[in-house]
Amino acid sequence: MKVNPKKLGQRKEITRINTFKEELIANSHADRFSFKDSANFQNLKDKVNNALKIHFDQKAFEKHKQESAKRNSTSRFDKRHTEKKKLIGLFSELAFKLGFDSTARDINAKILRFVSVICIFLSAAVISIAIFNNKSLDTIIIFLMVIWFLIFAAVYLISALFVFLYLDVRMYQRVTQIEEALPDFLQLASANISAGMTVDRALWYSIRSKFGILATEMETVAKSTIAGEDLELALTNLGKKYDSRILKETMNLIVEGIQSGGEMATLLSKLSSNIKETQLMRKEIGASVTTYAIFIGVATVLAAPMLFALSTQLLIIIQKIFGSIQMDKSVGVSGMFSFNFSGESISLSDFKKFAIMVLVISSFFSAAIISTIRKGNVKDGLKTIPLFIIISLLLYFGASALFNSLMGGLF
């Protein structure tokens, strides 16, 4: 069967240009791919487009472009959402969105190495103690099986949970930074369009280092567009990449504006104003519920430790009073009734453990509730959770010592 040399050359050229696209996108964060210089940006874009048009006739070029758009329309973000949400898949998705070089398998391998090191140390400790105490071989084997089956599984799950929480919090912080920088970026892009630039060049000229993560993502969109991807598709993928309703709807509106040929300067300016109004409204709502947040914080951090400290001291006094009473174990009017006096009905150490546990739990949930009331998300209050717990415990121990010094000499 004869192969058409022209078609064979076209296939080779498609492979070469696809390789060029993948290398360009994969190295999107490298310094040598910085597009702060608009002249270099436009020259590279023109070279890529000219190379495509030279090596393909117009019909093959349009066909390849349509196939590429159809293939890219089901992006890796859409594919991940249709897959079964396994733990390893969540690691992969979060690591990719955060820009980590590590894949899900790399993260899983690091967790396994960490858990294995812990189990090795525990096994060495168990073997040393067993040899020192002259334990039998059966006992050592049982302990080792417990370590490498039960403890290994428990530590792995806990470690995976902490890694997932860390990646999730990092992802939320990135989304917050993007939403904060988005209005200023859109306002600058609107001014560039009003000055006579096209939409793509206006977006690239608006990239500033002060925009942080948003600037990096827009550079990635620019490099994808240079590599042959449609601007609309690149912006749509950016909106799907992060779990942000503001970013997703903004990108969708920009794409619809480009496709309908509307006045983009006015559209971007209105989008910027609406996002700023939304952010201001959130701050006003958070300020309006400050009274409730203060009430919850004072009740948890101040009142609860003081009351538990007072209860601890009252328990000590009651035990001293009943301990000093000298009488029979049972006293009754007749044989039908009996009374038992004892100062050890409640253990002081058990009550202190109960108080500490209740303070930790109440501080955790109060910080989460305050964060939800003021910011609308628990993740904003993760920094205040350990602060609430530490303050409540310090106040409990401090108030217990104070009440002991004030009331300890009375009985």
Looking at every residue in the chain, the average pLDDT score rounds to 77
Same domain, 293 and 352: yes
Band (pLDDT 50/70/90 cuts) for residue 287 is confident
List strand residue ranges (DSSP E) for 16-86, in order. Answer: none
Of 279, 303, 333, the residue at which a domain comes to its end is 279
Q: Do 232 and 302 lie in a common domain?
A: no
Give the integer Cα–Cα distance in Å for 1 and 306.
91
Instruction: Confirm whether 400 is domain-assigned.
Output: yes
**Structure-model confidence comparison of residues 322 and 64, the more confident one:** 322
In this structure, the answer to whether residues 303 and 350 fall within a common structural domain is yes
Helix locations, 134-205, DSSP H: 137-145, 152-194, 199-205
> Six-digit token pair at 312?
């601890």
pLDDT value of position 87: 55
Asked if 275 and 294 sit in the same domain, the reply is no
> What pLDDT sits at residue 16?
66
In a domain, 100, yes or no: no
CA 43 to chain centre: 39
User: Is 24 within 8 Å of 33 (Cβ atoms)?
Assistant: yes
Q: Which two three-digit tokens encode residue 374?
A: 């003021």
Task: Compute the distance between CA of residue 347 and CA of residue 398 in angstroms, rounded to an integer.
Answer: 21
Query: What is the rounded average pLDDT of the residues 356-377?
Result: 88
Q: Is residue 316 domain-shared with residue 386, that is, in the same domain? A: yes
Give me 258's structure tokens: 């480009």
- Per-residue pLDDT band for 84 (boundaries 50, 70, 90) equals very low
Residues 6+ apart with CB under 8 A from 183: 272, 273, 275, 276, 279
Residues 263 and 308 in one domain: no
Considering its fold, how many domains does the chain have in total? 2
Q: Hey, CA dihedral for 409, 353, 311, 329, is it positive or negative?
A: negative
295 and 202 co-located in one domain: no
Which range is least confidently modeled, 93-97, 135-139, 181-185, 330-334? 330-334
In the predicted model, what is the mean pLDDT of residues 246-261?
Answer: 88
Question: 294 and 273 share a domain?
Answer: no
Q: Which domain holds residue 386?
A: 289-325+343-407
Residue 115 has pLDDT above 60, yes or no: yes
CB 222 within 8 A of CB 42: no
Cα dihedral value 166, 172, 173, 177, nearest 10? 160
Interval 191-208 mean pLDDT: 87
At residue 406, what is the residue type? L
- Does residue 338 form part of some domain? no
Task: Give ∠ CA 64-2-58 in degrees, rounded to 5.
Answer: 25
Alpha-carbon distances, residue 100 vs 91, 95, 106, 257, 393 (angstroms)? 11, 5, 11, 33, 38
237, pLDDT greater than 90: no
Considering the entire predicted model, what is its pTM?
A: 0.62
Give the residue from 45, 37, 29, 40 showing the smallest Cα distance to 207.
37
Q: Using the Cα atoms of residue 283, residue 289, residue 293 and residue 298 in order, give the sign of their dihedral.
A: positive
Residue 227 maps to a domain: yes
Burial-class residue 118 by CB neighbours within 10 Å (0-12, 13-18, 19+).
middle
| 260 shares a domain with 190 | yes
Looking at residue 387, what is its pLDDT? 92
